[in-house]
Amino acid sequence: MSRAGSYLMSSSNVMWVEKYRPQKISELVNQKEIMGSINFMLKNQSELPHLLFSGSAGVGKTTAALCVSREILGEHWRDYTLELNASDERGINMVRERVKKFSRFAGLDTEIPFKIIILDEADEMTTDAQTALRRIIEDTAKICRFILIANNLSKIIEPIQSRCVVFKFTRISNKEISSQLKFIAQKEKIKADEKGLETICDYVNGDIRHAINILQATASRGSIDVSGVKSVIGLTKTKDVQDVLKLALAGKVSDAREKMIELIKVYGMSESDFLKYINQAVFASKTNNIEGILEIIAKYDYRILTGANPEIQLSALLAELTKFRK
């Protein structure tokens, strides 16, 4: 994330994650090896290949793509950059209509080497859509460069991967996240104690975007301390997840499900956080069936990640846990 880019916006009601988003590659303080490689490529812009950025959420992939676009296109970057989120429009029509139209029919300014298409969450595209995209990449290579962004590189078909230079973004360290949070807190003139920032860093697991959002949400309630952070992110309800596990292991599936639904729909706990906390609760429970329970949790976690209905899957998880009834 950036420090230099933080002065572009001053409105108090703007999202901090946008207010402090880097505007130049030089402002990115993480992923230094990747940025060094990209800077080297930018020395000969006309030879820039298509790029594929992969890595977990909140590590700077989209920000890096926008920085590349600004670096190449300068003041014209908004006119000659198309941003799309593939998870919103997964099918073949998105590829054919929006990408194809932009890449083929919009003219080029003489100062512009090519247009740039940033396709976020490209791993959520169907196989047919990716196949169509591959053809468009080939057909428009003279006037377009694609920057594809994916959380899961394995879901990108090999013919697309082979046409891109792939960069794998790593999770951002707690030290780097904490440093950025302190900087933002100082600029926003809010009090943030060390333990509160540590709680944010431990919770977000390398996702700096999530960390900044939590910082802003906590700041809206007052100073940044442990109790404030826990209240915002729902950690005060983790004991209730332990109770859900106990109910399921006691064979009380309906009660367990009711409490699980309350945590998610009333208190705002995400499905992924519920799974993370129930995983922790298993170890705290000192049950004799840890391995079997963890395998079940992993199975339903994978199903949710691949698109299955979260509420149905979590309900099925609780039902399956009854086979370990105490």
Neighbouring C-beta atoms of residue 67, cutoff 10 Å? 24
Cα of first residue to Cα of last residue in the chain, in angstroms, is: 48
pLDDT in tens, 86-138: 766 556 676 677 877 887 665 666 678 899 999 998 988 888 888 988 998 89
Tally the domains of the chain.
3
Whole-number percent of the chain with pLDDT over 90: 46
Q: What is the pTM of this model?
A: 0.72
Residues 46 and 78 reside in one and the same domain: yes
Spatial separation of the C-alpha atoms in residues 192 and 185, rounded to whole Å? 7
Residues 92 and 137 reside in one and the same domain: yes
Residues 298 and 256 reside in one and the same domain: yes
Spatial separation of the C-alpha atoms in residues 5 and 213, rounded to whole Å? 17
Phi-psi region of 172 (alpha: psi -120 to 50; beta: other; left: phi over 0): beta
pLDDT in tens, 262-306: 888 777 778 888 998 899 889 888 788 899 999 999 999 988 887
C-alpha 281: how far from chain center: 25
Q: Is 131 exposed, middle or buried (0-12, 13-18, 19+ CB in 10 A)?
A: middle
Residues 100 and 157 reside in one and the same domain: yes
CA-based torsion, 272, 274, 275, 281: positive or negative: positive
C-alpha distances out from residue 152 to 54, 56, 193, Å: 7, 8, 35
CA-based torsion, 318, 324, 325, 326: positive or negative: negative
Tokens at 146, concatenated: 């694609």
pLDDT of residue 54: 94
| Domain ranges, residue 227 | 174-234
Compute φ and ψ for 197, nearest 5 degrees: -65, -35
In degrees, to the nearest 5, what angle opens at C-alpha 146 toward C-alphas 45 and 96? Answer: 145
Under the banding of pLDDT at 50, 70 and 90, the label for residue 232 is confident
Are the beta carbons of 243 and 212 closer than 8 angstroms? no
CATH of the domain at 190: 1.10.8.60
Domain boundary among 138, 168, 198: 168
Is 1 a member of any domain?
no
Is 266 a member of any domain?
yes
21 pLDDT more than 70? yes
Are the beta carbons of 203 and 214 closer than 8 angstroms? yes
pLDDT of residue 306: 79
Is 13 a member of any domain?
no
pLDDT in tens, 207-225: 898 899 899 989 988 889 9
Residues 202 and 244 reside in one and the same domain: no
C-alpha 297: how far from chain center: 22
Most confident of 19-23, 180-184, 201-205, 234-238: 180-184
Residues 258 and 210 reside in one and the same domain: no
CATH of the domain at 303: 1.20.272.10
Within 13 A of 244's CA, how many CA atoms are on the CB side? 25
Compute φ and ψ for 13, nearest 5 degrees: -100, 10
Is 244 a member of any domain?
yes
pLDDT in tens, 186-205: 999 999 999 999 999 988 88
| 3-state SS, residue 1 | coil
Instruction: Pick 29 or 320 by higher pLDDT.
Output: 320
pLDDT in tens, 136-174: 889 888 889 999 999 889 999 999 999 999 999 988 999
Is 4 a member of any domain?
no
Tokens at 139, concatenated: 């057909």
Spatial separation of the C-alpha atoms in residues 218 and 199, rounded to whole Å? 12
